[in-house]
Every structure is written in C-alpha cells, then in structure tokens.
Structure 1
Amino acid sequence: MTRTAEVNGITVSFDDAGIGPAFVLVHGHPFDRSMWRPQVASLTAAGYRVVTADLRGYGRSTVVPGLTTLETFARDTFALADHLGLDEVVLAGLSMGGQIAMECYRLFPERIAGLVLADTFAQGETPEGHAHRNRVADQLLAEGMAGYVAENLSKMLAAYNVEAMPDVADHVRTMMLNAPPAGAAAALRGRAERQDYQELLTNVTVPSLIVVGRDDEFTPVADAELMHRLIPGSTLAVIDNAGHLPNLEQPATFNAALHAFLEQ
C-alpha cells in the first residue's frame, strides 16, 4: 500500500514492504519507484525490509521546480529513513539514483551498511554535459516529456529489448511520460552542478556492488570498471543482454547479483 510522509517541506510517496534488515532503493531519471518492482519482490522474499520512494519532482511526490541538487535528494532519502526509524540501511541507486547514493555516502557514511551502484558514473560534470543537461531541461519545460521519451527509450533499454520485451518497454515508456517536466528539469539542472565522486569512492569502507548492463549507452561498462577500481574490495557484475536498466531487462540476473552480494 502506498504511503506518504512529510519530510523536508515536501510530501514523499513511498512503499515499505517486508521485514528484516533495511534496503533502500533509489530510482533514476525520469522514472519512479515502480522501476524497482522486481527487486522489491525478490528482496522481501529473501527476508529484507525494502523501502522505495518517489524522489521529489517524480512520481507522486511533491514537484519542486527550479533546481534540485543531489544533496537535496540525499537529505530527502535519509529524512525518510529517519521517519521510518531506520538507523542503518543497505543503499542502492541506479543512474541518477546511483549518484544520489554516492552523495548519501558523502553525507551519511555511518548509516550505510552496504552500497549498490547500478548503471551510474562517478565523474564530475563536463562543460559540455552542463550545457546539455540545461538544454534538455529547457526542452522538457517547453515541450513536455513526449519528445524526450521518443528520443531516449531505445537508450534506456538496449534497443533490441524495446521490441523483444514489449511489456518492459511499455512500463519504462509510461514512467517517462508520467514524469512531471518541472521535476525532471529541476533534477537535470541539479545534476549539472554535481561534484566529482571519484576521490570519495576510494574511501568507501562498506561492502559495495557495482552493476551495469553490458550494452548500456549512457553509462558504459568502462564507467563501472572505473568505480570498481576506485572502491576497495568492491564486486562488479556485468549483465548481458541489457542496457541502462538491467534490473528490468534481466531482473533474474540482476537479482541474483544482489543476493550473491548480500550473502558475502
């Protein structure tokens, strides 16, 4: 059952399922918490309490226009953890969610028992990237999500999976189309201002798993390999037959990597 919480001046819509050690999953852009359904089912069955929330500006959470930094998303994430009485969590994030997870580790390292970084990257923004994110934000505000979806669906999923997995493609398309343009634009502007996390990753002391789809165009395997080198003792899982969303494209393989990591 969907629940809501008042944190940091906004209403966050979230799900809290299962009983056991806490696992918090942070979605990417421009999605919502429903992207984690296969993982929620698998992790709760394995004895975990799993929290998934719509980030501010996405899903059914409050839309805050302007610019939303990764720090704001990270503080929202742990304000919700406070609301739920969670002292320590395993934290996973995909794409932008992975960068939010890195920011969480910068701010709240003592509250993170394990880290999962999926289809994300640690490098800071380039001048070209800064301009591009702000240009896309302008486009979303002016035109809505439809053009962005048409342009990017075949990069979110591996292009071959758009046709091979119509139900998955429809779910991803629906999440993207339903993303509030003002919220998505604010997140893009905030990511354009993000810091470089490479040095931070060299100081990570908790068990860490890095996952990437082998055919991810947005955050290629090389980005995952870099994070794997930076985080001491980390594990790397490359998921075949998947692009930027291996958790939805190959959920059984993705979940198996999660469980193997948790059982270490």
Structure 2
Amino acid sequence: MADVFPFQGCDLRYGDTGGDGTPLVFSHGAGADHVMFDAQREHLRAQGHRVITWDMRGHGLSRPAGAPFTAEQAVADLRALVEHLGLDRPVLVGQSLGGNLSQAVVRRYPGLARGLVVIGATWNTAPLSLRERLLVKAAAPMLATIPAGSLPRVMADASAVTPEARADARRAFGQLSKKEFVEVWRATVGFLSPDPGYRTPVPLCLIRGERDGTGNIASAMPRWAETEGVKEIVIPGAGHIANQDNPRAVNEAIDAFLRERV
C-alpha cells in the first residue's frame, strides 16, 4: 500500500499491481482494510489481471478520515479513485460494506464498471419487511452496547469461521475506535434504498459464505439472485468473510465469472 491519493481531506491509501489485464477494484468491509483481499490480489495478479485494493476513508492506512464516514462520501471516494487511476470500466468487487458501496456506485454511475462482484453483502435495493427495517435501525445501537475492549473480538467471531480469518479481523477491527466503528456501521444504512424494479446493468456475481449469519444476507441474497436471473455461489465452510475463510473457493468463483461473463 505504497500509493496515496489525497482527496477531500483524506490521504486514501491504495495498492495497484499494474498491468494491462482486466482491472478489478476491491473494497473491504466495515472496520476491515485492504489486507482482507491479499489472497485474491495475488491469485488474480498471477492470472494477468490488474488488481487495486484500497483502504476506505478512516480505515487501515487511510487516516485521518478528514470527514465523517457516510454513504455519499464513500461513493465519492471510490469514484474519484477510479478516475484518478484512469481505469477503463473496472470490475468492482466488494465484501460486506464494500459490496454495498460497489452496488451504489454501479447504480449511480452505470457506465463506470464492466462487472460487479458482491461477497457477503445485503441487497441495496431489496424491498424490506417491517422486521428487516427494524433490525437495520437497531444494529448500530446494539453495537454501541458492546464494551469497547470486547468489540473487535465479538465482531471478528461473528464475521469469520477459521482461526486465521478471525485473527486478521480482530487486527483490523482493533484499528478503529468504538465511536468510529459505530459511525461506519450506521453509515451502511445509507446504502439501502428499496427499488423493486431496479436491475443491475452489468454482469453480476453473488457470493456468500455457507455459515454467514450476519444481518439478512442468508435470506436476501438468494432472492436477489433469483430476481436478477443469476446463480448464487455459496462458499462451503465459510462465514461472513468468505474470501478469507475459504479463499480458494472464492478465487475460483471470481475466475469463472471473469472468464464467462466479463
């Protein structure tokens, strides 16, 4: 992560493998950082693709945040990074919050990307039941009740299955204060905008862990796949952070998508 892009009060840090292959931009989950995609970066670089990973504003090495983390600011940051690098219609890949962000950018700027890969994120434009709306609103206040010293461990254990993935999640989550973490989590609600008639205008790949019990992902993603007419890819033995719990299976899924759809 040697590269820096100063934008609206924050030095956004990113890594770029370079090359002439299909560009892919990976956006991490809430509280995480670029490290979560190490396995995907190395695998896809070896396949000849140009891989960009970055730390969102206020995460990892992209500090200080310079401005509050909001859905609108995150969309502006990702779009500006793509333009700064001069990328020609990259494939956007996002995990959790990064998946919500990537969906929002494709919806707002349908000509910006050539494909969308969503890993362990809910469906931004899904119609929400009353129960789902209440759960979404309650998430941040519930997080606020967890003691600050316990938050990284609690969230890591809820997000990952393997010891290695949990350890890295604890490392990443520990970089944010409790206030910052809750602020980011609250901002994810800003990506949810029910629109039952909307369809993704680019090829779409949906991936979730078999043991992902966070939010409504396990119930929403199958409905999303059916609505969009694509096959949902369920990663065996993986939790919310499927790309770290079972990187080989996720890499194979992304390979197939790039080969067959992009």
- Normalising by structure 1, report the TM-score: 0.87
Which is richer in helix? 1
User: Is the partner of 2:174 in helix, strand or coil?
Assistant: helix
Shift in Å, 1:172: 1.8
2:140 is the counterpart of 1:133 = yes
Read off the aligned partner of 1:126 and give its amino acid letter.
R
**Alignment coverage as a number of residue pairs:** 252
What is the DSSP-based 3-state SS (H/G/I as helix, E as strand, rest coil) of the residue aligned with 2:57? Answer: coil
TM-score (norm 2): 0.87
Mapped to 2, the partners of 1:62 and 1:155 lie a distance apart of: 26
User: What secondary structure, in the 3-state scheme, does the structure 2 residue paired with 1:57 have?
Assistant: coil
Query: Does the CA contact (< 8 Å) of 1:198 and 1:227 recur in 2?
Result: no
Alignment of 1:14-163 (within 5 A): 14-19=14-19, 20-64=21-65, 67-122=68-123, 123=126, 126-136=133-143, 138=144, 144=148, 146-158=149-161, 161=162
Deviations 1:214-247 (A, max 9, x none): 110105432221221222x433210001110110
Unaligned 5+ residue runs, structure 2? none
Deviations 1:25-84 (A, max 9, x none): 110011001100000001111111111110011101134388522221121011011111
Which residue is equivalent to 2:11?
A: 11
Q: Deviations over 1:164-220 (max 9, x none)?
A: xx33322221111123444323212222344325537x4212111000001101054
Could you say which residue in structure 1 is the equivalent of 2:219? Answer: 222
Give structure 1 stretches of 5+ with no counterpart.
none
The 3 A distance-change label for structure 1 pair 84 and 183 is: farther
Distance 1:198 1:94, change over 3 A: farther
Q: Is the 8 A contact 1:133 1:192 kept in 2?
A: no
Matches within 5 A, 1:197-208: 197-199=194-196, 202-208=198-204
Superposed displacement of residue 90, structure 1:
0.2
Looking at structure 2, the residues matched to 105 and 75 of structure 1 have their Cα atoms a distance apart, in angstroms, of: 12
Task: Give the CA RMSD over aligned residues.
Answer: 2.2
Q: Distance in 1 between matches of 2:187 and 2:166?
A: 27
Q: Secondary structure at 1:109's aligned position in 2?
A: coil
Aligned partners of 1:77 and 1:220: how far apart in 2? 23
CA distance in 2, matches of 1:135, 1:92: 28
* 1:50 aligned counterpart, secondary structure: strand
Q: Aligned equivalents of 1:80 and 1:197: distance in 2?
A: 27
Counterpart code for 1:253 = A
Contact kept in structure 2, 1:26 and 1:52, CA below 8 Å: yes
